[in-house]
């Protein structure tokens, strides 16, 4: 048994935390020494105080943003996977539809969000649509790539045994696509959050209040800079948590066999 500080897991968790603590301390000490006013740039202690003080309203906003994010993410995963399956069924479908998937991807959500917010009456729904559009593309492209990346030797084996289309899909294409799919999930989960926040900003400037982005806007209007930072902190933490959840999910699904998730045997 190695000492704790030498173990891989401990180092991987402890090292970033140590860096974070040092940065926060430098931030705190620097601002104190320079006596920068709170309304210009808050100290970490100010931000934590604001976080506690505005706890209930920030938490409510967090839940709104989280709900939009998760709805959009789930919608993107379902839609994206379905579209990817459609794409691999026939080359014609892919060739005719793929440019539109790209179109969806390159259109900035800020530019199209006002339109969607006007067209869709329900704010929650319009935000979800915007975030879904942002999160959709990585799922489509990764899953399509995965479903196509079949080991040629195995494909030959399936063909030789006259495996049905369905069996080839279930036993060969889908398991083979999983590593790509999980790669798509990681990117897409972060994008869903970004999409949700951006759409909230647009909706917020239009006067429809909701979510953490609105908290940031509102804090800006009232020059409550610590609250702005607190909301920002919550968004960041949400993103990290989503990413960690996706990593854990893909580790659970792939750890037995895929090189990306297998750890060297001791």
Partner 1 sequence: MTALLPVEPLDQTARPMTPAWDRPPAVEVLSAEKVFANGARGLAPIDLSIADGEFLTLIGPSGCGKSTLLKLIANLIEPSDGRLLWWRSDFAQVGQEGRRLAFVFQEPTLMPWARVEANVRLPLEFANMPRAMADPKVADAIAHVGLSAFNRHFPRQLSGGMKMRVSIARALVTSPNLLLMDEPFGALDEFTRNKLDDDLVNLSWERKLSTVFVTHSIYEAVFLSTRIIVMAANPGRIFRTMTIDHPQPRDQGFRDSPKFAAYCRELSAWLAEASLQSAAGGGS
Q: Which residues bind partner 1 (CB under 8 A)?
A: 151, 153-154, 156-157, 160-163, 167, 171-172, 175-176, 178, 256-259, 262
Q: Do 254 and 239 contact (CB within 8 A), yes or no?
A: no
Q: Do 202 and 117 contact (CB within 8 A), yes or no?
A: yes
- Cα gap 96→119, rounded to integer Å: 27
33 vs 160 by CB, closer to partner 1: 160
Residue 145 Cβ vs partner 1, minimum distance, rounded to whole Å: 17
Instruction: Indicate if the alpha-carbon torsion angle 125, 130, 133, 139 is positive or negative.
Output: negative
Residue 4 Cβ vs partner 1, minimum distance, rounded to whole Å: 29
103 vs 160 by CB, closer to partner 1: 160
22 vs 154 by CB, closer to partner 1: 154
Distance, C-alpha 83 to centroid of its chain: 20
178 vs 232 by CB, closer to partner 1: 178
Residue 257 Cβ vs partner 1, minimum distance, rounded to whole Å: 5
Residue 58: name the closest of 69, 47, 68 by CA. 47
82 φ, ψ (degrees, to nearest 5): -60, -45
Tokens at residue 264, please? 């060297």
100 vs 166 by CB, closer to partner 1: 166
Residue 260 Cβ vs partner 1, minimum distance, rounded to whole Å: 12
Query: What spatial distance separates the first Cα and last Cα of the chain, rounded to whole Å?
Result: 12
Residue 61 Cβ vs partner 1, minimum distance, rounded to whole Å: 42
54 vs 250 by CB, closer to partner 1: 250
Distance, C-alpha 254 to centroid of its chain: 20
Tokens at residue 70, please? 């998760």
Residue 152 Cβ vs partner 1, minimum distance, rounded to whole Å: 9
């Amino acid at each position: 048994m190695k000492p704790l500080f030498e173990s891989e897991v401990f180092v991987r968790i402890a090292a970033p935390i140590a860096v974070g603590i040092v940065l926060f301390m430098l931030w705190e000490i620097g601002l104190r020494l320079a006596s920068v006013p709170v309304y210009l740039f808050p100290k970490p202690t100010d931000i934590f105080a604001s976080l506690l003080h505005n706890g209930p309203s920030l938490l409510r906003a967090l839940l709104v943003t989280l709900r939009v994010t998760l709805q959009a993410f789930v919608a993107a995963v379902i839609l994206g996977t379905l579209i990817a399956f459609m794409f691999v069924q026939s080359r014609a479908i892919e060739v005719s539809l793929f440019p539109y998937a790209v179109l969806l991807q390159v259109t900035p959500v800020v530019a199209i969000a006002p339109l969607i917010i006007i067209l869709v009456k329900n704010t929650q729904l319009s935000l979800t649509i915007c975030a879904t559009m942002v999160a959709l593309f990585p799922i489509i492209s990764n899953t399509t790539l995965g479903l196509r990346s079949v080991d040629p030797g195995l494909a030959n084996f399936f063909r030789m045994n006259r495996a049905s289309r369905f069996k080839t899909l279930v036993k060969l294409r889908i398991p083979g696509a999983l590593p790509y799919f999980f790669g798509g999930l990681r990117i897409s989960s972060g994008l869903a959050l970004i999409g949700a926040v951006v759409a909230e900003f647009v909706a917020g400037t239009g006067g429809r209040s909701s979510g953490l982005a609105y908290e940031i806007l509102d804090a800006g209007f009232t020059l409550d800079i610590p609250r702005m930072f607190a909301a920002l902190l919550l968004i960041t933490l949400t993103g990290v948590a989503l990413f960690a959840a996706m990593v854990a999910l893909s580790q659970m699904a792939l750890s037995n066999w895929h090189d990306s998730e297998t750890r060297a045997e001791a």
